[in-house]
Every structure is written in structure tokens, then in C-alpha cells.
């Protein structure tokens, strides 16, 4: 032995036949340290995985596992075992003998150990005491361990009372332990030896997604602390994309940060400081997006929005569409940062526009003025009217206009124009009549469509060149006298001869 009560090797312990009710076992696994997210134990309510049961050494299941071992006693006394044994000046082997001596009635073994039947249907015979057996089922391990601890704890306490002459040392087995559940601290007194037992005694269950430190099978001493962080399921929808995750965060903001969800500028359905209940919760997140909006014929606008769809964005921005407006993409299209939205505005409106009324022209014929001459005697005064239109526009550009009505505000004063009617004086009219008879059968208004017009068959170029435009646009539209006046100019320009009309000139014997 080393120290006060711990074994110095893995060898077993032999006791006198009169007191040897339980045989010690060999090597014992070390007590586990605290871990996070320890898998749900397969052992039982005390939380012992099979490999961590102090009553079952690796490599087999001898019946000697039913004996009280030094490890069993140390497990009962906990981390303060050396101090407790020193306080009563006793070695662990001596304490085991006293336990045997103090015990007069052995508690019944759990029935689960003897339920296996033989091939003949009868209860199986117990194997030899030290014959190794296959690893027992988890429920057997748990039953043996629970049975041992109930018996050994009471027996050790009784022995310590005997040694100390009172209850002071036994009461020292009562520990003060701090239990921290999600930051809520509770100080308790307990006789339990492991983390799992303390939690079970307090009715605290550890879920598969909880974090516990130390681990359930770890020993706990006086002044020890147990920390339990509850897992909470959070269902997060980010821009319509669903995610589910477990988190040990207490608030919505902490959970989103742990899950890597960007919330800068985002809309979140719950406040960042809101507490997440143990049963979990759902959180909707709409991320901040930058989109470009083209509304009608206006300039492009950069819009920051947390909307999920085009329609939701329009509603958030207070933008409405007319019955004839169109939008691309559609209202149900999902938005992403960088999206472009184009709105085509088509509308019909009724407008009233003031317009000027041009003065009407009033002509006065003047026989003292040559025909074709005009003289304005009074410019007149424009009037004013209101005209009603129905106007159709697309993106601010007018595409159609319909006149609906007119309301005159001020009548226009007429413009007075004096027009001459006097015809030019004709010399040698008889000769020109003969020539017209020859050229056009005497018809001064003839137009055969051959490019020559009037009684003297002018072409358009000659008519304009000699000033015929002052009388009419085309020769056949002018009077006889006006045609003769232009013909006289043509004749005089050619030396006073009628060479411009060669055929009829020869026929009529003209110069």
C-alpha cells in the first residue's frame, strides 16, 4: 500500500475466510475527466458507460466483480478519500474488514443477474468464482454498480462512525457541490460520489445535445462544480432557405453568430437579446440586399432592402403599379443582391392646354391693284382657347393624343388683306390668240399631262424663270392676260421673235 489507503499495484487483496464476503478485483480504470457532448451513456440512470464501471475490469466478467474492492471504497469516499481515511487513521484494507464485520445482513442481489436460462429452460448455473465470462449486458453492469453503492456507502459510513467515535467523519462524506445549469448556480449538499449521481439525485437529466463538465462518471469532491449547458434547437430561415441546428447559446443574437448567419442590416424576426427557450424556437432572417431600380423613364436608383421578392420590395418602398404598367422581373421573383428591376409606366391622362387662335384672313379685292399683289391693312389680333386632350404616355414619353374639346376664351380679330384684281395690259392680243389657237386649240386652261401647260404651252421651268410664279404655280392656272404677259417677256428675250413656238410660228407666218 502507498499513502493512506490506495493500492500500490493491480494485485488483488486476500482476507480472512471469516470476513471475506467480497473479493477485490484487479486493475481499475481511472475515473473519467470532464468532456463536452459526451455520448448518451449506455449504462443507466447514473450515467456509467460500460467501460467506466469500477466494478468491471477490462477483459472479462468474473464473479469476483461482486466483491467489495478498494476501488469500490475509494469510489464511495470520492476525491477526499485520503483525507477521510487519514482523519480516522485507518488503512483501506482495514476499513474493508470493518465493513465486513459491521455487516450482518447482506442486501439482496438484483434479480436481473439471474434471469438467464439454460438450454433446458432451467435457470443457468452460476459459473466458478474466478472463471472469466463475456462482458455482461449494460443493464447487468448498472444493476451491480447500483447494488454495490447502496450497500457499501452505508457500510462505510457505519464503519467511519465507529472509528471516529461519532458522526463527524461520516458527515464529512456529505459534500457541498455547486451545480451550474445555463449560468444558474445552485449549491447543494450530497453524499453522491460522481457527477452523474449528483445530477440524478437532483432530478437533472442530461440531453444528447447538452454539454456537461466534468463527464457523468467523473468523481466529485467537496467544493466541486458541475457545469451543464443545455442544447437548444433553432430553426433558422435565411431568405427562405431553411436550416436546423443545435446551439448552447442563450440568446438569438448569440445563436445566429455561432451559426455564421450575417445580420448586419438584416431583418430578424426576434430581437437579438431574446432568450431561446429550452424547447427551441424558429427565427426568420432577411438579409440586406442592394438592388438597382429603373422606374419609368427616371434615372437608376440604388435601393437597400431586406425584401425577399420583387413584390415585397415594391410594398416596402411604397411603389405602386398602374393598371397598364409592367415590371420585369415579375412580382414573385426572389431578390438577390445585384438584382435589377425595370418598371415600364404606361398611363392615360386628360389635360387642358391653352392655345393661340390665329387671326382669320379677311381679303378685300382691289381692282386698282394688279392681280397677284397683296397688301395687309390690319394684322389682326390672335385669340385664346383651352383645348382638352386625352394623352397616353409610356415611361414619360407621349405616345398618343386625342382632342376632346375646345373652349374659346378670347375671339381672334381678323387680319385684313387687300388683293389686286387688275389684269396686265395686253399688246398684240390678236396675235397671241392665234398662237394659242394653234398651240392649244385656244384653251388657256389646258393641262394634258405632257409637261406643257396653258394656251401657250409653257413648261414649268420657263414659267418660273420669267416670273410666272407671281400669278400662279402653273401656267394653266393663270389668266389669259397673265400668260400673255409672261409670253411677251419670253418673246422680247429672244429678240422680239416667236422662236419659242417654232411650229406655229412657221404655220402662222410670224417673225
Q: Stretch 251-270: mean pLDDT, rounded?
A: 91
Read off the pLDDT band of 467 (50, 70, 90). very high
pLDDT band for position 490 (50/70/90)?
very high
Q: What is the rounded average pLDDT of the residues 301-327?
A: 91
Among 169-183, 238-252, 434-448, 478-492, name the one with the lowest average pLDDT: 169-183
Mean pLDDT of the chain: 79
Does 348-420 match 289-344 at the fold level? no
For residue 453, what is its C-alpha cell?
Answer: 401647260
**Percentage of the chain exceeding pLDDT 70:** 71
pLDDT value at 1 more than 80: no
Burial class (CB in 10 A: 0-12, 13-18, 19+), 397: exposed
Question: Cα–Cα distance between 149 and 201 in angstroms, integer?
Answer: 14
Angle between helices 138-164 and 70-77 (to 10 degrees): 70
- Determine the pLDDT at residue 60: 46
pLDDT computed for residue 101 by the predictor: 62
Alpha helix locations (H) across 280-381?
Answer: 310-317
CATH annotation of 232-286? 3.10.20.30
| pLDDT surpasses 80 at 409 | yes
Lowest mean pLDDT among 310-314, 343-347, 356-360: 343-347
Domain extents for the chain? 1-112+129-175, 232-286, 289-344, 348-420, 426-508
CATH code assigned to 289-344: 3.10.20.90
The CA angle 317-319-320, to the nearest 5 degrees, is 150
pLDDT of residue 110: 54
Q: Which of 38, 409, 421 is nearest to 214 (CA)?
A: 38
Q: What is the largest CA-CA distance in the chain?
A: 182
Tens digits of residue pLDDT in 52-91? 445 555 544 555 556 677 777 777 777 777 777 776 677 7
Rounded to whole angstroms, the Cα distance separating 466 from 321 reads 66
3 state SS for 249-288: CCEHHHHHHHCCCCCCCCEECCCCCCECCCCCEEEEEECC
What CATH number should be reported for the domain whose range is 426-508? 1.10.530.10
- H, E, C per residue of 159-210: HHHHHHCCCHHHHCCCEEEEEEECCEEEEEEECCCEHHHHHHHCCCCCCCCC
pLDDT at 123 over 90: no
Q: Which of 129-133, 214-218, 498-502 has the lowest mean pLDDT?
A: 129-133
Look at residue 193 in the predicted model and tell me its pLDDT.
Answer: 81
CATH architecture of 348-420: Single Sheet (2.20)
Amino acid at each position: 500500500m502507498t499513502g493512506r489507503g490506495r493500492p500500490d499495484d493491480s494485485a488483488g487483496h486476500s482476507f480472512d475466510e471469516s470476513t471475506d464476503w467480497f473479493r477485490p478485483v484487479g486493475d481499475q480504470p481511472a475515473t473519467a475527466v470532464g468532456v463536452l457532448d459526451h455520448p448518451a451513456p449506455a449504462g443507466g440512470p447514473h450515467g456509467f458507460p460500460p467501460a467506466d464501471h469500477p466494478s468491471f475490469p477490462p477483459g472479462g466478467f468474473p464473479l469476483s466483480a461482486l466483491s467489495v474492492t478498494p476501488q469500490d471504497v475509494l469510489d464511495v469516499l470520492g476525491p477526499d478519500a485520503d483525507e477521510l481515511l487519514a482523519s480516522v487513521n485507518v488503512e483501506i484494507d482495514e476499513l474493508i474488514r470493518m465493513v465486513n464485520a459491521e455487516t450482518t445482513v447482506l442486501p439482496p442481489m438484483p434479480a436481473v443477474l439471474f434471469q438467464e436460462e439454460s438450454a433446458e429452460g432451467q435457470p443457468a448455473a452460476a459459473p466458478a468464482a474466478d472463471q472469466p465470462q463475456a462482458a455482461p449486458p449494460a443493464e447487468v453492469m448498472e444493476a451491480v454498480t447500483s447494488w454495490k453503492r447502496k450497500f457499501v456507502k452505508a457500510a462505510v459510513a457505519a464503519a467511519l462512525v465507529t472509528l471516529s467515535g461519532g458522526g463527524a467523519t461520516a458527515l464529512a462524506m456529505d459534500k457541498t457541490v455547486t451545480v451550474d445549469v445555463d449560468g444558474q448556480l445552485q449549491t447543494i449538499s450530497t453524499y453522491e460520489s460522481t457527477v452523474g449521481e449528483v445530477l440524478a439525485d437532483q432530478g437533472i437529466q442530461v440531453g444528447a445535445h447538452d454539454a456537461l463538465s466534468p463527464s457523468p462518471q467523473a468523481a466529485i469532491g467537496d467544493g466541486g462544480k458541475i457545469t451543464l449547458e443545455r442544447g437548444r434547437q433553432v430553426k433558422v430561415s435565411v431568405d427562405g432557405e431553411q436550416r436546423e441546428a443545435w446551439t448552447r447559446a442563450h440568446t438569438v443574437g448569440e445563436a445566429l453568430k455561432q451559426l455564421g448567419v450575417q445580420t448586419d442590416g438584416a431583418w430578424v424576426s426576434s430581437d437579438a437579446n431574446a432568450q431561446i427557450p429550452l424547447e427551441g424556437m424558429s427565427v426568420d432572417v432577411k438579409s440586406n440586399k442592394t438592388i438597382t431600380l429603373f422606374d419609368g423613364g427616371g434615372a437608376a436608383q440604388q435601393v437597400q432592402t431586406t425584401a425577399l421578392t420583387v413584390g415585397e420590395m415594391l410594398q416596402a418602398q411604397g411603389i405602386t403599379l398602374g393598371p397598364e404598367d409592367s415590371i420585369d422581373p415579375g412580382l414573385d421573383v426572389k431578390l438577390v443582391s445585384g438584382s435589377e428591376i425595370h418598371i415600364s409606366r404606361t398611363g392615360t391622362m386628360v389635360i387642358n392646354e391653352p392655345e393661340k387662335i390665329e387671326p382669320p384672313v379677311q381679303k378685300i379685292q382691289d381692282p386698282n391693284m394688279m392681280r397677284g399683289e397683296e397688301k395687309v391693312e390690319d394684322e389682326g389680333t390672335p385669340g385664346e382657347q383651352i383645348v382638352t386632350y386625352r394623352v397616353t404616355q409610356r415611361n414619360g414619353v407621349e405616345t398618343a393624343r386625342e382632342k376632346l374639346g375646345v373652349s374659346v376664351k378670347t375671339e381672334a380679330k381678323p387680319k385684313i388683306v387687300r388683293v389686286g384684281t387688275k389684269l396686265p395690259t395686253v399688246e398684240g392680243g390678236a396675235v397671241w390668240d392665234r398662237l394659242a389657237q394653234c398651240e392649244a386649240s385656244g384653251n388657256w386652261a389646258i393641262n394634258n399631262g405632257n409637261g406643257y401647260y396653258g394656251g401657250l404651252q409653257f413648261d414649268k421651268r420657263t414659267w418660273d424663270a420669267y416670273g410666272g410664279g407671281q400669278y400662279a404655280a402653273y401656267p394653266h392656272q393663270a389668266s389669259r392676260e397673265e400668260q400673255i404677259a409672261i409670253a411677251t417677256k419670253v418673246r422680247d428675250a429672244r429678240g422680239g421673235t416667236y422662236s419659242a413656238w417654232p411650229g406655229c410660228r412657221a404655220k402662222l407666218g410670224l417673225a
